[in-house]
Amino acid sequence: MDNLISEREEVSKIAKAQQEQVKRMNLNVPLELHNAFKSATAAEGTSMTDVLLQYIQEYVGKHSNPKGRRK
């Protein structure tokens, strides 16, 4: 039993070390747009977060300055 607990603790430590740091963002969205977005993502079997992250990654890839400096 003690072996099982130590294995779980080890797996937990590994998982925590591999987690990517995140920053929470909040935005105001009209209620109807929120509901439509939530419905559309649910119908696709994805989450609103996943769709927004994909969009942000594409936007940054398209609009980022290769030298890493602001315009």
pLDDT 10s digits, 1-54: 556 667 777 666 666 666 778 899 999 999 999 999 999 999 999 999 999 999
Positive or negative torsion for Cα 57, 67, 69, 23 = positive
Report, in angstroms and rounded to the nearest whole number, the Rg of the chain calculated over CA atoms: 19
Q: Kindly report the backbone phi and psi dihedral angles of residue 18, in degrees, each rounded to the nearest multiple of 5, phi listed first.
A: -90, -10
Task: Please state whether the predicted TM-score (pTM) of the whole model is above 0.75.
Answer: no
Q: Which residues of 11-31 are buried (b: 16+ CB within 10 A; e: fewer)?
A: eeeeeeeeeeeeeeeeeeeee
